[in-house]
C-alpha cells in the first residue's frame, strides 16, 4: 500500500527510522 509508505514518511518526520 502506498499509504504505508506515507505513514513511514511520517515516522521519519518524528525521527523514527523506517526499515
pLDDT digits (tens, 9 = 90+) for 1-19: 678 778 777 766 666 665 5
Rounded to whole angstroms, the Cα distance separating 17 from 7 reads 12
What are the grid coordinates assigned to 4, written together?
504505508
What are the grid coordinates assigned to 6, written together?
506515507
Question: Residue 2's pLDDT is what?
Answer: 73
| Residue 9 · residue 19 · CB < 8 Å | no
Amino acid at each position: 500500500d502506498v499509504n504505508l509508505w506515507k505513514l513511514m514518511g511520517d515516522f521519519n518526520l518524528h525521527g523514527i527510522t523506517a526499515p
